[in-house]
């Protein structure tokens, strides 16, 4: 079915829920007026609806393939990528000094949401470039910026990040890739990396790999990792394409989904690279790209959920089956349970989209003002955006199959592709368990100050809503207060106890935030938004209570069964 960008939802969220006007009022982003924003998002919607969405099935049915050492992309993908590049979308938030638009990250998030709905496999390529652009802006020297940023922003070149090795997955500090310094200031990079999204393709003239490697005298662990730029083709003196570097694609992974997105095993054999940032500080530089990607991957989940929802809604409005008391048209959307599934899908999408946009507004405000409070808000929301956005994508896509009934299990309907494609998002850029442990660990090193500040805002708004919507306001206030009490308990526990309850804690936090944004929508929006808020607050928010019970259950029970007993 055709994809339609939910521009009305984006506009409502930006104008009434996540306070995007704060971003517009800063000197840095003063040009992002409401008129400019509306025009930009309308143009992005046309790109996604008319150019990218038709490629969704094409990539799944005719995957990328490796031929004679070169990756050939799915039919139509090159044209789709060129449309993205020619529209300037790769540089929507990039520095204008190098050809970017310089617009807020929030608008990049909306763009990526739409592209993920339209064609998730292809969207992953520009997402990688966007992350590399940000990493270079923050950590590269002026010479490297001048050489690489204009090419990445224009789409002439694309970017990747190379972290994972066969023995070093989440434990990045165990990597073995070596970097040998050369007399001319370059380095020889040797090692193998796996799971490299868009590690090679035929859509751009050069592919720029950011590679984590270890210097000969480097300390062990993450403190001894440096970051290197290792291009497929070595740039010549004028920045053009020179000789091919000593690297190759060993193979492409055979994946559950994302078939149009080539995931490569990369081998570097004394390849020439240049250091990005300081020696042994590679993780700090790479984390700039990873944090960008974590928000981006959360948004991929949200976009996939939107695509799956639209697909299921269209089927439900067309499929005739059974009888209902309503029975106006005889289609399955009249069945109460089908209506329940669709309503909860839509309510979930609104909630996680609001969290992601609030996250991006905090990122923009931190950049524009230098505020530590905004930076802390952005840091707190990033693991929630990544984990809840991707979990919601998986759950909504799975429900979409259920709406289709038996036809959902049949590949020809396209319903299953959304689930197969989105499933990996809960795994890459740090599994959702790692995101949860980050939330209860590093993000609580302030004694929970950023979390308590956000929860106070939730409670204050709920108090203000008691007049017009007393029942919904009370439910949200009580949920926030219970989450506050659990947070107070959590920060007194050691890390083993925190880790045991990390995932349910993150999900409970997301439920409370989702209810908060829905309550705002109910107050500021139409009767339809109030009805959707009631769906979320009465049917999804109550999950938080059971989740918080799990948080307090502690670690002891998880270790009560031995490894052998688990196997019995």
- DSSP state, residue 14: I
| pLDDT in the model for residue 170 | 77
Measured between alpha carbons, how far is 7 from 558 in angstroms, rounded to an integer?
45
Confidence of residue 1 (pLDDT cuts 50, 70, 90): low
| Catalytic option among 134, 165, 429, 459 | 429
- Tens of pLDDT, residues 383-430: 999 999 999 999 999 999 999 999 999 999 999 999 999 999 999 989
Q: Does the structure show a pLDDT above 90 at 522?
A: yes
Q: Does the structure show a pLDDT above 90 at 167?
A: no
Mean pLDDT to the nearest integer, 482-495: 97
- Tens of pLDDT, residues 422-453: 999 999 989 999 999 999 999 999 999 999 99
Beta-bridged to residue 208, according to DSSP, are: 159, 231
How far apart, in Å, are the Cα atoms of 216 and each of 168, 212, 332? Answer: 18, 13, 65
158-284 folds as Butyryl-CoA Dehydrogenase, subunit A; domain 2 (2.40.110)
Cα of first residue to Cα of last residue in the chain, in angstroms, is 47
SS3 of 273-300: EEEECCCCCHHHHHHHHHHHHHHHHHHH
Q: Does the structure show a pLDDT above 80 at 267?
A: yes
Structural contact between residues 45 and 6, judged by C-beta atoms closer than 8 angstroms: no
| pLDDT in the model for residue 363 | 96
Measured between alpha carbons, how far is 468 from 88 in angstroms, rounded to an integer?
45
Confidence of residue 339 (pLDDT cuts 50, 70, 90): very high
Active site residue 412: no
Q: Classify domain 288-557 by CATH architecture.
A: Up-down Bundle (1.20)
pTM of the model: 0.97
Give percent of the chain above pLDDT 70: 100
| pLDDT in the model for residue 222 | 84
CATH 1.10.540.10 fits 7-152, yes or no: yes
Q: Does the structure show a pLDDT above 90 at 173?
A: no
In the chain, which segments carry CATH 1.10.540.10?
A: 7-152
- Tens of pLDDT, residues 322-333: 888 777 788 999
Beta-bridged to residue 162, according to DSSP, are: 211
φ and ψ at residue 480, rounded to 5 degrees: -65, -40
- Tens of pLDDT, residues 25-76: 999 999 999 999 999 999 999 999 999 999 999 999 999 999 988 899 999 9
Measured between alpha carbons, how far is 465 from 453 in angstroms, rounded to an integer?
19
Contacts of 465 (CB under 8 A, 6+ apart): 472, 473, 476, 519, 522, 523
In the chain, which segments carry CATH 2.40.110.20?
A: 158-284
Measured between alpha carbons, how far is 381 from 86 in angstroms, rounded to an integer?
32
């Amino acid at each position: 079915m055709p994809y339609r960008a939910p521009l009305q939802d984006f506009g409502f969220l930006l104008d009434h829920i996540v306070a995007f006007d704060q971003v517009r009022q800063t000197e840095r982003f003063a040009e992002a007026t409401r008129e400019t924003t509306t025009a930009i998002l309308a143009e992005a919607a046309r790109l996604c609806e008319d150019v990218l969405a038709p490629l969704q099935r094409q990539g799944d049915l005719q995957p990328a393939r490796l031929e004679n050492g070169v990756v050939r992309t799915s039919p139509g993908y090159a044209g789709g990528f060129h449309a993205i590049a020619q529209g300037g979308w790769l540089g929507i938030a990039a520095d204008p000094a190098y050809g970017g638009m310089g617009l807020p990250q929030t608008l990049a998030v909306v763009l990526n949401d739409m592209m993920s709905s339209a064609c998730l496999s292809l969207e992953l390529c520009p997402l990688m470039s966007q992350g590399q652009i940000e990493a270079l802006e923050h950590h590269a020297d002026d010479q490297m910026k001048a050489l690489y940023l204009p090419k990445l922003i224009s789409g002439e070149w694309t970017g990747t990040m190379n972290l994972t090795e066969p023995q070093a997955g989440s434990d990045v500090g165990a990597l073995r890739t070596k970097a040998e310094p050369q007399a001319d200031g370059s380095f020889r990079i040797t090692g193998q990396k796996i799971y490299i999204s868009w590690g090679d393709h035929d859509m751009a003239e050069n592919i720029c790999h950011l590679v984590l490697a270890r210097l000969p005298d480097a300390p062990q662990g993450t403190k001894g990792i440096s970051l290197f730029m290792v291009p497929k083709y070595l740039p010549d003196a004028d920045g053009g394409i020179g000789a091919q570097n000593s690297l190759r694609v060993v193979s492409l992974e055979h994946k559950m989904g994302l078939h149009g997105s080539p995931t490569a095993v990369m081998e570097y054999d004394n390849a020439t690279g240049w250091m990005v940032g300081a020696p042994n500080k590679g993780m700090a530089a790479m984390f700039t790209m990873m944090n960008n990607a974590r928000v981006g991957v959360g948004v991929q989940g949200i976009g996939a959920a939107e695509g799956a929802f639209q697909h299921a809604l269209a089927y439900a409005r067309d499929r005739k089956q059974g009888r209902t008391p309503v029975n106006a048209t005889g289609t399955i959307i009249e069945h109460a349970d089908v209506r329940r599934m669709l309503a909860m899908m839509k309510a979930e999408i609104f909630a996680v989209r609001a969290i992601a946009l609030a996250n991006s507004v905090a990122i923009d405000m931190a950049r524009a003002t230098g505020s530590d409070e905004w930076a802390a808000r952005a840091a707190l929301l990033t693991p929630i955006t990544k984990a809840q956005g991707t979990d919601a994508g998986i759950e909504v896509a799975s429900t979409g199959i259920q709406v289709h009934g038996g036809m959902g299990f049949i590949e020809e309907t396209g319903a299953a592709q959304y689930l197969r494609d989105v499933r990996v998002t809960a795994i890459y850029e740090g599994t959702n368990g790692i995101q949860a442990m980050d939330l209860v660990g590093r993000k609580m090193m302030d004694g929970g100050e950023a979390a308590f500040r956000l929860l106070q805002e939730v409670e204050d708004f709920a108090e203000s809503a008691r007049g017009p919507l007393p029942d919904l306001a009370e439910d949200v206030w009580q949920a926030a207060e219970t989450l506050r009490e659990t947070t107070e308990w959590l920060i007194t526990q050691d890390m083993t106890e925190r880790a045991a309850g990390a995932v349910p804690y993150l999900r409970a936090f997301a439920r409370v935030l989702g209810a908060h944004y829905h309550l705002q929508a109910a107050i500021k929006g139409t009767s339809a938004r109030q009805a959707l808020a009631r769906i979320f607050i009465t049917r999804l928010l109550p999950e938080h209570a059971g989740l918080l019970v799990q948080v307090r259950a502690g670690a002891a029970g998880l270790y009560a069964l031995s490894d052998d007993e688990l196997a019995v």
